[in-house]
Structure 1
Amino acid sequence: MTAFCLRPWRKTDAVSLVCYADDPGIAANLRDVFPSPYTRPDADNFIRDCLEREGRDQLSRTVVIGGQAVGCITVTRGQDVYRRCGELGYWLGRPFWGRGVMTAAVRQICREAFAAFDLVRIQAEVYAPNKASQVVLEKAGFALEGVRHRGIYKNGQLLDSCLYALLKEEQA
């Protein structure tokens, strides 16, 4: 596995964030709120939002390899009746795919989020064609709870999505 660390975002991460986030292959597996192309103003706005929300309703970390911000992983606490549930989202720069980084990062952020927000459940929704992300979640201890057939409209296509969850008592 490639050595990495997770740390809170810094304003100075914007340059490397643009370098790794500006990839249509990454945007294809994320919600439309993730811009493509990904520009410097997008990075500045994203980092500002992360810093403002940190600890209140989310934990957002950059994945750092070789001193550069090469990805992102976030757990956002649910609201109202979902306040004991968190939603996990992540992406990693293409040069680091398949090296075990994201599986380890998912385990780490989930431990932090369970402690920080008194959560009992963390869930993640993955587009069905994204098999690599499904493997990441399964290796990190998440269980597939169901498939939402034709529940996603992305890039002109209707896609299935897979709902995964990790319960606090089941975490590794």
Structure 2
Amino acid sequence: MSDVQIRPFTADDTAVFARLASDPRVTAFVGDGRPWSEETVAARASDALADDPVDRVGSSRWFIAEEQGRPVGLGTATRRDGCVEIGYWVDPAVWGRGVGGAIVTELVRAAPGRFGIGRLVARVHPTNEASSKALLRRGFSAQNAGDGVVHYALDVTPRFERA
């Protein structure tokens, strides 16, 4: 298992995000499956840095995943109606080492307290077996296969107390 920790995304992390977003191996299971344009990267990074109130639907918090001080991925948590949707991208240089699962573990620890909601969800492309396994190993269950993706859910309400 990888020793990964997450920390809040900052403006200095935009280059890491841009590198991941322009890599077709990373974006293969995101949106339309194509690398993102510079304009899209800039707009999304700006949104991530907005620090919107966490009680607003659509508000998100981004995190950089680091292993021994080196960026290895990105995690996101976004407030939805009655839940928090998590997402994660892993640098292909560290694929197969458990980094994605470690990011999920860290998001499960961080997101409920940050948003005050214990129901977590994730949406995964049906052919992304590594991501599905990472979620299932951490207690998520597959809910349905709507809108071209498989929905996973985990309720951690009993395990956290709202601050």
Structure 2 counterpart of 1:4: 4
The alignment of Structure 1 onto Structure 2 pairs a total of residues equal to 156
Q: Distance in 1 between matches of 2:62 and 2:36?
A: 22
Q: Distance in 2 between matches of 1:122 and 1:108?
A: 13
Does structure 1 conserve the Cα–Cα contact (< 8 Å) formed by 2:74 and 2:90? yes
Q: Distance in 2 between matches of 1:91 and 1:116?
A: 20
Structure 2 counterpart of 1:140: 138
Judge which range, 48-57 or 137-146, deviates more: 48-57
TM-score (norm 1): 0.77
Runs of 4+, deviation exceeding 3 Å: 41-45, 65-70
Structure 1 counterpart of 2:114: 116
SS of the residue corresponding to residue 31 of structure 2 reads coil
Q: Distance in 2 between matches of 1:51 and 1:37?
A: 18
- Is the aligned partner of 1:167 residue 2:147? no
**Structure 2 counterparts to residues 5-44 of structure 1, below 5 A:** 5-32=5-32, 36-39=35-38, 42-44=40-42
2:86 to 41, 63, 88: 88
TM-score (norm 2): 0.81
CA RMSD of aligned residues (A): 2.5
> Which runs of 5 or more structure 2 residues have no equivalent in the other structure?
none
More strand by share: 1
Does structure 2 conserve the Cα–Cα contact (< 8 Å) formed by 1:21 and 1:93? no
Paired letter, 2:3: A
Paired letter, 2:48: C
2:63 to 61, 64, 73: 61
> Which runs of 5 or more structure 1 residues have no equivalent in the other structure?
153-160
Paired letter, 2:107: I
Paired letter, 1:75: A
